[in-house]
Each structure stands twice: as C-alpha cells, then as structure tokens.
Chain A
Amino acid sequence: MKRIIALIALLSLTTAAWAQYQNIYSGESSLYDRYVTFNIAARYGVSMPLGGQKGYIDKASPTNLAIEGEWLFPQRFSIGIKTGYQYTNQRVPRQVYQYDNQSISAVQTRTLSIIPAMASLSYYFAGNADAIRPYIQMAGGGAYVDYTNYFGPLADQKSGFKGAIAPAIGLKYYGKREQGLGAEIQAQYQNIFFNYDQLKNSAPSLILSAGVSYRFH
C-alpha cells in the first residue's frame, strides 16, 4: 500500500514538474490550458422541421433561441448544459379530421413550443485559448414540449417533459488568441421523443443558429 502511494506521489510530482516545464518553455502558456475555464453562448436561429414534426408544421420557424454554458477542460473537451426556447406555428385551412367514429371540421392553428434542458459533451479541434475553435458536440437529456393545436379557438393541448438528443457541429470565433468575446455558429440536429395526434412518431428538427460566445476564467 505504501509503495502504491509513493508511486502515485512520484508520478504526480513529475507530471506537475513536466507541466511547469511546458509552461515556461513553450511560450504558449495560457490559463485556459491549465485550469477548468468557462464559456457561455447565446444564439438565435431558424429551425427546419423534419419527420413527424414536419407532418405537424411543415414550415421553417424563425423563433429559436439557444443558451449554452460550458466547462472547458484543458484537454480540448468540454461538458456543458444547454437550454433555450423554440416556437413554431402554422394555420391550416378548414378541413375535416377523422377519428374512429368522430369527424371534426375546423381551421387548425398548430403551435409547438420547446424548452430543451440538455447536457452536452463537446470536442474541440483547437486549444481552449485559440482564436478559431471548431467543434463537434453530442447533447442529450430532455425537453419540455407544449403541443397546442387550436381547433378554431378550442385548444387540444398536450405537454410534458420528454427525452431528447441533439448532436451538433459548430465553430467559435474569437478574433484572436485569449480573447473572451467571440461569435459562434452551430448546426444542430435535434430529436425529441414526443408524439401526439397530428405529430406522429417523434419531433426532429434541424436548427441553424448564430450568436455570441464568451469565454472566461
């Protein structure tokens, strides 16, 4: 047991020494490379419905906001949390909807509101302090979904917290090395495991967003 502790102590000491050596002599020393640092981002975007969501509302939505916070680790990966707000609606002209022995003639106003709550894992193809940081991301968790389909003025509503996944690719651009404030673009495929009535199977969409990104320590 003592031997193991001694081994670990030796290992950590030499690693620390090696790290210091790197910092002093590489000239690339940055706090971002040594500590856990942070990045927050707010983006605005358009959402293209796919699959079941397209069967419910088939037009692109201009009302999407994404907010993301990340813990940046020195090894070019980050763990984050993300939320936002996505809203889409569409008026469908009068038609008759059939349900078993029921027929409903109505003008439908279909709405879908989504508030994601997900955890993310990202890998960056550049260092934490670099000016340009492309990345890939896998996010998963859930989303609060509010499906409200108005038949005339009468609401058929279904809401709940459902599972969701959202892989994404993106790019953070800070202008120069070490700079805090930057811009970000992201393409995200999002699939929420929600279905109800006119929204069959699940609710996937493609969200293209752009906004500001800020890193700090």
Chain B
Amino acid sequence: MNTSEQHTVRKGSIWMILLLLTAGGALTGCRDSAIKDLSPTDSPVYITNYDNSINFGQYKTFSLPDSVVIQSNDNYQTVRSGIADQFVSNVAAALTARGYQRVAKGKPADLGVAIIRVNNQYTGVASNPYSYYSSYWGGGYGGLGGYGYSPYYQSYYTYQVSDQYWEIQMVDLKNAPTTSGTDKPQLNVIYDATVRGTDVPDTQAVDTATNAIFSQSPYLKAAQ
C-alpha cells in the first residue's frame, strides 16, 4: 500500500511540475510592444547635465562658432548645414536672452560653447574625442596647444544604442588653468545637453529641442 501511494504521489507531482514549467516557459514578454505606438514628437529625449558647484552668473561672454563639430568616433570635422545653422542661431539667441554676450570668433570669452553632431559607430566612450577644442574657437586659444577633457558628472543612466545625436557643450574658459611645461590644461565641461531618442529631422525639431533644453536649464543665467 505504501509503495503504490508513493508511486502515485511521485507520478502526480511530476505531471504537476511539468505543467507549471511548460506554462512558465510559454509566457513571453509584452513589454517589447510597449513603445511601438510612440509618435515622432514623443520620441526625443532631452538630457542636460551641469556642474552644480558652478555659479553660472560669473560668466559674461561666450564664444560660439558658426560651424558645427561633426564627431565620428575619434575624428572630427566642422560643417555647416540648415539644421546646424538653426542650432547655432537658436543657442546664440537663447544664451543672449539669458544675459550672456557673444564675442566674435577668436576673441577671448568666459564660456566656450560647442555644438556637436555625434556620429559614433558604436556605443561606449571614445578615448579622447575632445581634441577639437584645440582650434574650434579660433586663434585665441590655439596657443594652449589643445585641451584635455575633465568630465564632472557621471551619467545616471545607461542607454540602449543611439549612434547619432546632437550635443551642446559648454566649457569654462574663464577659469582655465594655466599650463605648466608640456602638460595640456584641463578645461572643465560645465554644461552638456544632448538630444537623444530620435534624430532631429528639420529646423522645427531644432526649435523644439533648444526650447526644451533651455527651459529645463534655468541656472544658465548671467548676473545682471
């Protein structure tokens, strides 16, 4: 009697466990379809970072070239295009509205502003993609022989692959350390804004992007 009971229990248990495993294995995720209906206007993600130890009121002037840096992995070049021009004029207008004064190319400024089109072929951090600072703002800073890069923030999120995006970067030229010997001075990036999630297809999308970026960065304001 004992044996048959044992047998029945074991057989029943096996059936039950098999059923549960099969059912569990057949369950697949619904989450992948969650963003299938995302509209183009809902897709962009505007991310801004800033060094919160910096008082942005201390700066008065900024340098912003008319061209845009195209950064592709470790290489860069500068270009002009309709979308690029719109970015430059929008950022210049927004910074002017916040009380900063734009200086002519090559003249000393407190802030160096760079508009960058990142065109990376892979995700991850490029070894030193910031060498474009050496000549981007013209002759006024060329004597420094190139700048290093000192990140002040840690990205809070890890994102899925996004190869191409627009970036606005600001470095502190006012408090640039003086060089000693052959060392490259470390310029601090004090502000960084990126447009992620989807590409910027037209100038209207540029307006939306710069509006969103500056409205979420109220600390960008010159002292009156």
Chain A interface (Cβ within 8 Å of chain B)? 35-38, 40, 42, 63, 65, 67, 69, 71, 81, 83-85, 87, 89, 94, 96, 99-107, 109, 111, 113, 115, 146, 148, 150-156, 216-217
Q: Which of B40-64 contact A (CB under 8 A)?
A: 42-52
Q: Which residue of B lies closest to A151 (CB)?
A: B45
Q: Closest 10 A-B residue pairs measured CB to CB?
A: A152-B197, A69-B16, A107-B42, A85-B27, A105-B46, A111-B31, A152-B45, A106-B45, A101-B52, A103-B216
- Having A152-B42, A153-B198, one finds 12 other A-B pairs with CB under 8 Å, namely A36-B9, A40-B19, A81-B17, A84-B27, A101-B50, A104-B45, A104-B46, A113-B30, A113-B31, A146-B31, A153-B160, A216-B12
What is the chain B residue whose CB lies nearest that of A36? B9
Residues of A near B196 (CB, < 8 A) are 151-152, 154
Contacts of A156 in B (CB 8 A): 157-159
- A154:B153 contact, CB within 8 angstroms: no
157-197 of chain B: CB within 8 A of chain A: 157-160, 162, 196-197
Q: How far is the CB of B168 from chain A (nearest CB, A)?
A: 13
A121 to chain B, nearest CB (A): 16
Chain A CB within 8 A of B223 CB? no
- Taking the closest CB of chain A, its distance from the CB of B152, in whole angstroms, is 8
Tell whether A154 pairs with B5 under 8 Å between CB atoms, given A102-B47, A104-B45, A115-B24. Answer: no
B29 contacts A by Cβ under 8 Å: yes
* A177 to B216 Cα, complex, angstroms: 67
User: Are A113 and B38 interface neighbours, CB within 8 A?
Assistant: no
A84 to B12, CA, bound (A): 20
12 contacts between A and B (CB under 8 A): A36-B5, A81-B20, A94-B42, A102-B47, A103-B216, A104-B48, A105-B216, A107-B42, A109-B35, A115-B24, A152-B43, A154-B197
CB-based contact B157/A40 at 8 Å: no
Q: State the CA gap A152–B38 with chains docked (Å).
A: 8
Bound-complex Cα distance A216 to B8 (A): 11
Using Cβ atoms and an 8 Å threshold, which residues of chain A touch B212? Answer: 105
Across the two chains, which residue of chain A brings its CB closest to B29?
A113
A102 to B51, CA, bound (A): 9
Closest to A144 in B: B24
Q: How far is the CB of A158 from chain B (nearest CB, A)?
A: 10
Nearest-CB distance from A174 to chain B (Å)?
18
Whether B24 lies near A38 (C-beta < 8 A) is: no
> Given A87-B31, A94-B42 in contact, is the A103-B48 Cβ separation under 8 Å?
yes
Q: Which residues of B contact A109 (CB under 8 A)?
A: 34-35, 38
Min CB–CB distance B157 → chain A (angstroms): 5
Closest to B156 in A: A99
What separation, in Å, do the CA atoms of A56 and B35 have in the docked complex? 17
For B94-120 the 0/1 string (1 means CB < 8 A from A) is 000000000000000000000000000
CB distance from B105 to the nearest CB of A (A): 30
Choose from A63, A94, A101 the contact partner of B30 (Cβ within 8 Å). A63
> What B residues does A99 contact at CB under 8 A?
156
CA distance A94 to B38 in the complex (A): 12
Contact of B20 among A63, A67, A217 (CB under 8 A): A67
The listed residue (B34, B49, B213) touching A111 by CB distance below 8 A is B34
Nearest CB in chain A: distance from B148 CB, A: 21
Cα-based distance from A31 to B58 in the complex (angstroms) = 86
Q: From residue A64, how far is it (CB to closest CB) to chain B in Å?
A: 11
If the complex has contacts A69-B17, A94-B42, are A217 and B23 also in contact, measured as CB distance less than 8 A? Answer: no
Query: Which residues of A lie under 8 Å from residue B16 when comparing CB positions?
Result: 38, 40, 69
Closest chain A CB from B158 CB (angstroms): 8
